[in-house]
Structures are given as C-alpha cells and as structure tokens.
C-alpha cells in the first residue's frame, strides 16, 4: 500500500494525521498538504514517500503515504490557498 487512501494523490490536497505533526503544526491549516509526487502518491506502488508543499507557508518536504488522514475539503483548501472554492459546473 503506497498511501492510506489507496488512491492516486498526485496534485491533490490531503490532510495529514495530527499525531505525526510537531506540536506547533497540528492545526488544520498546517496539516493541509499538496501532494506533488513520490512513490507513495500512486496507490499501486510499493513506495510510501510523498513529496509536496504546505500551502499555508510554502514549506516543501517529504511525508509518508500512511500519514495521510483524508482528502482536504474545499473549505480547507480555500483557507490555506486564499482562493475561494471552485464551483463545479
């Protein structure tokens, strides 16, 4: 299993588990992570690495696929990107 959701996470916003974050980074804004790639980004690979960025501060780093709690909601994405959610047509 490459990530805890078993899905392709490339270019998706996810929420990282609170228990894997340092105490100063446990609020939801710090836990939203945009996955850019890594072997753990694709559900059918054996690797677990996720490479991405926290949009709230632009920090680029590596996490593990099993540290993903869920997909980020539109509201959470808007909170960290400063852009309103895109209405589906």
**Which residues, including other chains, have CB under 8 Å from residue 6's CB and lie 6 or more apart?**
43
Kindly report the backbone phi and psi dihedral angles of residue 70, in degrees, each rounded to the nearest multiple of 5, phi listed first.
-170, 175
β pairing state of 49-54 and 68-71: unpaired
What's residue 88's pLDDT? Answer: 57
Q: What is the pTM assigned to this prediction?
A: 0.89
- Tokens 């996720």, residue? 50
Token pair, residue 50, equals: 């996720």
Per-residue pLDDT of the chain (89 residues; tens, 9 = 90+): 688 898 999 999 999 999 999 998 899 999 999 999 999 998 777 889 999 999 999 999 999 999 999 999 999 999 999 887 666 55
What's residue 67's pLDDT? Answer: 95
Kindly report the backbone phi and psi dihedral angles of residue 44, in degrees, each rounded to the nearest multiple of 5, phi listed first.
-100, 5
- Tokens 């209405």, residue? 87
């Amino acid at each position: 299993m490459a990530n805890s959701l078993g899905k392709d996470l490339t270019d998706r916003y996810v929420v990282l588990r609170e228990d894997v974050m340092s105490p100063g980074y446990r609020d939801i804004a710090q836990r939203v992570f945009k996955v850019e790639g890594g072997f753990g980004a694709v559900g059918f690979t054996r690797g677990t690495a996720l490479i991405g960025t926290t949009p709230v501060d632009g920090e680029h780093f590596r996490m593990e696929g099993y540290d993903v709690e869920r997909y980020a909601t539109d509201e959470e994405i808007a909170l960290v990107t400063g852009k309103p959610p895109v209405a589906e047509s």
